[in-house]
Structures are given as C-alpha cells and as structure tokens.
Amino acid sequence: MAEFKEISPNASTGAKLNNWLYNRFPTAYDAYKVHMSEYYAPKNFNYWYFFGSLALLVLVIQIVTGIFLVMHYKPDAAVAFASVEYIMRDVPWGWLIRYMHSTGASAFFIVVYLHMFKAMIYGSYRKPRELVWIFGCTIFLMLMAEAFFGYLLPWGQMSYWGAQVIVNLFSAVPFVGPDLALLIRGDYVVSDATLNRFFSFHVIAIPLVLIGLVVAHLFALHDVGSNNPDGVDIKAKDYPKDANGHSVDAVPFHPYYSVHDMVGVAVFLMVFSAIIFFAPELGGYFLEYNNFIPADPLVTPAHIAPVWYFTPFYSMLRATTEVMVNVFCIIVALAAVWAFFRSRLSFMGKVAAVVAALVAIVLLKTFDAKFWGVVIMGGAVVILFFLPWLDKSPVRSIRYRPGWHKAVYGVFVVFFLVLGYLGIQPPSPLGTLAAQVMTIYYFGFFLLMPWWSRLGAFKAVPDRITFAH
C-alpha cells in the first residue's frame, strides 16, 4: 500500500478533499496524468482531429438517451410500435429523447466515417499504429451491428422488412445458410422472438463490447502516440526533446486539446440541435417515412432500402449479378496472365498464381450471385482491416504524396457517396451498371494499393512537424 500524501492543516477545504480522494484512489489520478495532463500530442492537429472526441461524445449521448428510452419501450411485437408512439406523445420530453437517439445514430456514422477518412489521408494506420486501426475498424463493425439490431426495435414497416431482407441474406451462405438465418431470427419469419433477440443485443451485449473496444482503442493510441497531419513521428529517438524528455513539438492533451476540442463540440452541438428541433427526419434519410407505419407482414413496401449509412455496402450487394461474377472471372484470369508473363515471381510462384486463379474462377462459377453479393458486402468492410499492410507508400501523409494520389482518394470518396445514394434509390439498369463500376473501383483501390501507392514523385518529408499559429 502506498504511503499517504500529507497536507497542511491550514489548506483549503477543496485541497483537503482533493488530498483525501488522492490517498484513497490514486489510480484515477495516475490515469488522468497518463491520458490527459501528461499525455503529449503533436501541436499541429487541425480540424480533422475533432472527430475522435466527437465520436466519444455521440457514444455517451446514445448510451444516456438509450437508458431513458428503455424505461418506456416494450420489446413485444404486439406493443413495440405503440410504446414508441407513447414515448413520442405522452412521456414528458420523450420526443426529444427519441429524436436525440435517432439523430445520434446518423451523427455517429458521420463522425466515424470522417474520423476514418482522416486516418486514411494522414496514414494514421501505418506502423506503429496498426493495432489502433484494427481496434477502430472493429468498433466500426460493432457499430454497424448495433445500428442494425436497433433498427428493428421501432417495429415500423421499413424496420420489419429491412430486417427480413438482411437476415434472409444469411441463408445464401452454402450448407449452413438456412440454419444460420433461423438462428438469427429465432423463428421462420421476423417475429416477436427476433425482436427480443435484437433488443438484448442492442441494449446489453454490443454496447458492452463497444465500450471495451473504445477503451482499448484509446489505450493503444496513447501507448504509441498520436499521428499528425505531417505523418512525422514525434516519439522517434532522434526527434528533438526538451529538458523533461518530451518532444519539443508536443503539448499536453489537457488543457490544450481538451479546450481545442470544445470548439468542435460547440459547432457539432449547434448542428445536432438544429436537426433535432427543425428536421429530425432529414427528408426521410435519418427516419424513413415508412417507419411511421406499424409493421405489417402482409404488406411489402414498394421499395425496401436500409438506412443511409448502410447503403454504400447495400449497393455493392445489389450490384453483384451474374454479369458481375463473370467480370470478376475475367479480372482474375487477366491477373493470372499478368502474374505468369510479367511478374518477377519464381516459376513455382507463377504456377501457384495460375492454380489459385483457376480455383477462384471455379468457386466464382460454383456459387450463385446472391452468395457472392453477401461476400462482397462483407468484404468491403473486412478489407479495411488490412489497410496497414496494403499501403506501401514511403510516406504516411497525403501532404507529401504525388498530386494524383489525392485524385485517387477523391474519386474513392465520390464513388462511395454515389454508392450510398444509389442504395437508397430503386434499382435500375443504369444505376446497377454504375454501382458495378464503383464496386470494382472500391476493391481495386485497396487490392492494387501495394502497387499504386509506391508510384510517383514523393515530396521530401520535413525532419520536424510543420506548424503555424
């Protein structure tokens, strides 16, 4: 047991209380020092670095509003929709809590998408921050699961039929698909059993996992140190240090960045409040109009689409037709030809590449397009985990990469947004063709990254981070 810290009898009441707490809970004070007052971060953070703290803020909003909603919500197919209406109409300030939660779901994905994009353009996933990125991608995956399970709870038309469509996708998995879909639903159709399962995962299981992953994400980040817009490692052994051993270009997180982040929080809360009070449905994107109709298993909506934050991946699912599978076969065959005649692989390596391509083509033609659509949709998220090992660029930050690299990233963002828009619209031949082209670009962006990320004339990276007040 550590020795008690003494304090003068003439000290103020506040100082005595602080000393009393310190002597009984020093671990909390040590954690505050490690992660706040004595955690040194690069002094050149810009507005892109708001989104990490904003994601934490939205997580707190979702947990707190969720607790109040659970007090009145009933996970029963017979009364679930009515209980939501009761919250909206009769519970004091219930409408505000519900709109904060529904708007918070979309806000969560907006700030997380922007936070991930920041990491991509500044190379925050590169060594030694691979584990930080992996924890972040796992958080994103769990967030998608959390949103999917919560989407069914209002028991509206789009909730019901959206869950029906997505769960039925699991039946496309060979051999175990039907049993897997039955296990997820708890019944042969989406029913009260499904609602209870989704409720338990949404309220208890996944939030606990999310909180644990967020803590692990922060611990891993603070162990290796934050990246910065220049991609220069201020913790490197040869980086200039001050008398205390800290980088000369670093400042304590508190109070510098805790106050800095308040600017982002203030702007975010103004926008967040404006949406809640003036446009909580946001034209049907945050809350679909069909979800204000009670779920009816006998009436199928004319067009079923998930919420906007799932639609880029849903577009990839819909784009995977038999024609698309044939295109994949051609791409694999061309890759095998290139590997055999143009690559620097050994002869046995070339033979192995051709054999692997033949196996891939056989598998592509063996299973139907619906199964490969599910694989593409899941693969679009899973491939993010491998980004630290796919990027072979000699520099981290986009600032010091060739100009055309920025264009590659720009097209990637535009295509991702267009895929999101197409996922909301009813399917059409032109929309399907566009989605197929953009899906190929999405995967090509990652799979070809070991090649294209090394090309071009790179700018010289400065020895120290660049900073201007």
* Same structural domain, 109 and 242: yes
Integer angstrom CA distances of residue 54 from 67, 75, 237, 244, 380: 20, 30, 32, 31, 25
Question: Residue 447 burial by CB count (10 A; 0-12/13-18/19+): exposed, middle or buried?
Answer: middle
Residue 83 belongs to a domain: yes
pLDDT at position 2:
56
Confidence of residue 3 (pLDDT cuts 50, 70, 90): low
* Same structural domain, 121 and 201: yes
Residue 95 belongs to a domain: yes
**Tell me: the pLDDT tens digits for 170-201?**
888 888 888 999 999 998 889 999 999 999 99
**What are 257's strand-pairing partners?**
none
* Same structural domain, 380 and 414: yes
Q: Is 222 annotated as a binding residue?
A: yes
* Same structural domain, 139 and 211: yes
Is residue 342 pLDDT above 80, yes or no?
no
Q: Can you give the C-alpha Rg of the chain in angstroms?
A: 26
**Tell me: the pLDDT tens digits for 289-330?**
999 999 999 998 888 889 999 999 999 999 999 999 999 999
Q: At what angle do helices 369-382 and 130-151 cross, to 10 degrees?
A: 130
Domain boundary among 264, 292, 320: 292
Residue 147 belongs to a domain: yes
Q: Report the candidate in 4, 43, 41, 1 with the shortest Cα–Cα distance to residue 21.
A: 4
Structural domain boundaries enclosing 181:
26-292
Q: State the average pLDDT over residues 108-119.
A: 97
Residue 302 belongs to a domain: no
**Tell me: the pLDDT tens digits for 13-52?**
999 898 999 888 989 988 988 888 889 999 999 999 999 9
* Same structural domain, 373 and 245: no
Residue 57 CA to residue 272 CA, distance in Å, equals: 12
* Same structural domain, 134 and 222: yes
pTM of the complete model: 0.94
* Same structural domain, 349 and 446: yes
**Tell me: the pLDDT tens digits for 120-135?**
999 999 999 999 999 9
Q: Report the candidate in 168, 160, 254 with the shortest Cα–Cα distance to residue 198.
A: 160
Q: Is 115 annotated as a binding residue?
A: yes
Q: Residue 353 sits in a domain of what CATH number?
A: 1.20.810.10
Residue 165 CA to residue 301 CA, distance in Å, equals: 12
* Same structural domain, 256 and 404: no
* Same structural domain, 246 and 355: no
Number of domains observed in the structure of the chain: 2
Residue 466 belongs to a domain: no
* Same structural domain, 226 and 345: no
Residue 284 belongs to a domain: yes
Residue 448 CA to residue 443 CA, distance in Å, equals: 8
Residue 210 belongs to a domain: yes
pLDDT at position 262:
95
pLDDT at position 9:
86
Residue 4 CA to residue 421 CA, distance in Å, equals: 61
Confidence of residue 237 (pLDDT cuts 50, 70, 90): confident
In 25-93, which residue ranges form alpha helices assigned H by DSSP?
Answer: 26-32, 51-70, 80-89
* Same structural domain, 262 and 321: no
Residue 469 belongs to a domain: no
Calculate the average pLDDT of the chain. Answer: 92
Cα separation of the two ends of the chain: 46
Q: Is 217 annotated as a binding residue?
A: yes
* Same structural domain, 320 and 279: no
Q: What is the largest CA-CA distance in the chain?
A: 85
**Tell me: the pLDDT tens digits for 378-435?**
999 999 999 999 999 999 999 999 999 999 999 999 999 999 999 999 999 999 999 9
